[in-house]
Amino acid sequence: MQLFRSVLNEVAVSKGQFLLKPGTVVKHEYFVVKGCLKAYYQDAKGNRHIIQFAIENWWIGDFDAFLNQIPSKLYIEAIEDAELLSIHYDNLQKIYNEAPIFNRYFRILTTKAFIAQQKRILSTLEKNTKDRYIEFCTSYPNIELRVANYDIANYLGVTPENLSRVRKTFKG
Amino acid sequence: MQLFRSVLNEVAVSKGQFLLKPGTVVKHEYFVVKGCLKAYYQDAKGNRHIIQFAIENWWIGDFDAFLNQIPSKLYIEAIEDAELLSIHYDNLQKIYNEAPIFNRYFRILTTKAFIAQQKRILSTLEKNTKDRYIEFCTSYPNIELRVANYDIANYLGVTPENLSRVRKTFKG
DNA sequence: TATCTTAATTGATATAGGTCAATAGGATTG
DNA sequence: CAATCCTATTGACCTATATCAATTAAGATA
């Protein structure tokens, strides 16, 4: 645990700042101590698709680019001023070698993230926009107060206009 | 590696047979040696939603139910006669303890599965049905010859009718 | 081969959601 | 306070996909 702490670095970003932009070879993953961030992909048409929101106690990064040490395709941007802990790729490899138990920690972490994503996929397959919005709000409590409407729409895969209309149907 | 082999069991299932049904506490995960299977969720309306196809060299299981040792919500069904290797939950825990390096193996395996799912989510957010069908066929080569049309539709989250029409638009 | 069963296709229509344009709030800045 | 800039909402219309029903095709079984 001391070893782990020794390789974590404190990072502060303010709202609107980027932790990562496409094309960068990704050297860090980030743990959110405070604040809120989004990871998104911008396609050829300029549409943004939110892969992940990260709030307190979540990890965020481009796991594909990080694992395979290839250039990223994602943006990671702070939606609120945020405090993070970062871990460098080389240090993480060092930790895996020196304290293999961390493989277990990250194995379980990754499995949980995998399961969460699977739920998201199922939700998309099964439910309509309204129900997915409600599910989203309950699984990320109070997130709708911290995140712009259009970002939630981009997460759910609908337009902001449609989400706005959908929200009207169950507010009073 | 010998330890690993010693806890794997050979399982054969024929087309149409189930490896898993909802309500079961999941004791096994499966590695596909030969054949093809599907994992799906059936919702309250009776609609089926395919979470995963598994072909040769893939792992399949209900990872949520397995990790947390809770009753499954999924069906896993063979769509071809299949040969599998199964590993029992208790044996996997034993392996993690006796040969912690397996944490590393499964950490990387899970990370790759996570990344594959992330691509599926992105694909759903970005692309229309036609492009997703094409992407599906290229990422699971020749799968369209092994899997029923309605199963592919259930994987993509569209109706079989619609998928049928979409396919017409680029065949000659 | 004839029959039965299941899957795929086609047609007609309905609906959810997208697109584009306009307007209205809120917040921020000079 | 006014001006500006975003964001959210609303309206009118359009498109992709769903739904339901009928038909055809393909596979399995006797």
A59-95 pLDDT per residue, tens = 999 999 999 999 999 999 999 999 999 999 999 999 9
Q: How far apart are CA A153 and CA A151, in angstroms?
A: 5
Amino acid A158: pLDDT: 97
CATH code of the domain in which B85 resides: 2.60.120.10
pLDDT digits (tens, 9 = 90+) for A18-55: 999 999 999 999 999 999 999 999 999 899 999 999 99
Q: Which residue is nearest to nucleotide D11 (CA to C1')?
A: A161
Which residues fall within 8 angstroms of residue B108, CB to CB, at 6 or more apart? A67
Backbone phi and psi for residue B146, each to the nearest 5 degrees, phi listed first: -105, -20
Q: Are A4 and A77 in contact (CB under 8 A)?
A: no
> What is the span of the domain harbouring residue B14?
2-99
pLDDT digits (tens, 9 = 90+) for B3-15: 899 999 999 999 9
- Is position A159 within any domain? no
Domain total for chain B?
Answer: 1
pLDDT digits (tens, 9 = 90+) for A129-167: 999 999 999 998 888 889 999 999 999 999 999 999 999
Residues 98-137 of B with CB under 7 A from strand D: 128-130
| pLDDT by residue, tens only, chain B of 172 residues | 888 999 999 999 999 999 999 999 999 999 999 999 999 999 998 999 999 999 999 999 999 999 999 999 999 999 999 999 999 999 999 999 999 999 999 999 999 999 999 999 999 999 999 999 999 999 988 898 999 999 999 999 999 999 999 999 986 4
More confident call, A170 vs A65: A65
Query: Buried b / exposed e across B84-112, counting CB within 10 Å, b at 16+?
Result: bbbbeeebbeebbeeeeebbbebbeebbe
Q: Which chain B residues contact residue A96 at CB under 8 A?
A: 104
Q: Which residues of chain B approach chain A closer than 8 Å at the C-beta? A: 41, 43, 47, 49-51, 63-64, 67, 96, 100-101, 103-104, 106-108, 110-115, 117-118, 120-122, 124-126, 154, 157
- Is position B41 within any domain? yes
Which residues face A76 on adjacent strands? A20, A39
Taking each helix axis as running N to C, give the angle between helix A129-139 and helix A149-156, from 0 to 180 degrees, rounded to the nearest 10.
110
- Is position B128 within any domain? no
- Taking CA B165 as the corner, what is the angle to CA B161 and CA B168, rounded to the nearest 5 degrees? 145
- Is position B77 within any domain? yes
Protein-proximal positions, strand D, CB < 7 A: 7-12, 16-21
Q: What are the distances in angstroms from CA A104 to CA A19, A116, A135, B54, B108?
A: 27, 18, 30, 25, 11
- Is position A165 within any domain? no
Side-chain-facing half-sphere of A25: CA atoms under 13 Å? 5
- Is position B117 within any domain? no
Whether the CB of B160 is less than 7 Å away from nucleic strand C comes out as yes
CA gyration radius, chain A: 17
- Is position A36 within any domain? yes
Distance, Å, A170 CA → D12 C1': 23
Amino acid A172: pLDDT: 42
Side-chain-facing half-sphere of B149: CA atoms under 13 Å? 10
